[in-house]
């Protein structure tokens, strides 16, 4: 009888040890994946803090006045910002602040245009800027006037 209880105890111990080792291995694998994910997320956030994101919006005014608002939606300072009109469209520019020296995050500047009979309905623009992450960033955007 003692031998049977000893065998049952040993089998229970071995089963417990195997279960513990399998569970521990699974937990360590999950922990490694979580650590990798957190490091990757940290690196992406670090890179985002170095990037400026320059975009443009159109604001319609009275008497054919159109304002193109160029703004920095990123988290870093944008430097040496250029706006270029792509295509053969003729546009009447009222004020042109470009090239603009720098835009801090969430700041913007404006450019005035005037519409006239026969002026284009859409403009294709190219924005170029430098930031801490990279020089000569570009973004093409279609603006509806």
Q: Which residue has the tokens 């513990």?
A: 20
What's the rounded mean pLDDT across residues 138-145? 90
Report the alpha-carbon angle 79-81-86, nearest 5: 155
% of the chain with per-residue pLDDT over 90: 60
- Residue 115: pLDDT band with limits 50, 70, 90: confident
Output the 3-class SS for the chain.
CHHHHHHHHHHHHHHHHHHHHHHHHHHHHHHHHHHHHHHHHHHHHHHHCCCCCEEEEEEECCCCEEEEEEEECCCCCEEEEEEEEECCCCCEEEECCCCEEEECCCCEEEEEEECCCCCCCEEEEEEEEECCCCCCEEEEEEEEC
pLDDT score of 29 more than 90: yes
Same domain, 7 and 73: no
pTM summary value: 0.72
Same domain, 43 and 65: no
Q: Which of 2-6, 41-45, 87-91, 104-108 has the lowest mean pLDDT?
A: 87-91
Which structural domain, as residue segments, surrounds residue 23? 1-48
How high is the pLDDT of residue 117? 76
Please check whether residue 96 is in contact with residue 103, taking contact to mean a CB–CB distance below 8 angstroms: no
**pLDDT tens track for 53-99:** 999 999 888 777 888 999 999 999 999 999 998 887 777 787 778 88
Provide the mean pLDDT of the chain: 89
Domain count, the chain: 2
Same domain, 87 and 131: yes
Same domain, 43 and 67: no
Same domain, 66 and 37: no
């Amino acid at each position: 009888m003692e031998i049977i209880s000893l065998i049952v105890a040993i089998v229970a111990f071995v089963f417990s040890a195997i279960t513990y080792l399998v569970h521990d291995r699974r937990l360590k694998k999950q922990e490694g994946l979580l650590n990798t994910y957190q490091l990757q997320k940290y690196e992406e956030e670090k890179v985002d803090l170095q990037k400026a994101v320059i975009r443009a919006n159109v604001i319609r005014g009275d008497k054919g006045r159109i304002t193109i608002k160029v703004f920095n939606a990123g988290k870093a300072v944008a430097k040496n910002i250029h706006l270029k009109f792509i295509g053969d469209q003729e546009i009447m520019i009222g004020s042109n602040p470009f090239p603009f020296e720098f835009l801090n995050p969430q700041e913007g500047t404006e450019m005035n245009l005037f519409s006239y009979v026969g002026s284009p309905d859409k403009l294709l623009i190219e924005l170029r800027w430098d930031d801490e992450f990279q020089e000569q960033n570009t973004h093409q955007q279609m603006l509806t006037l």
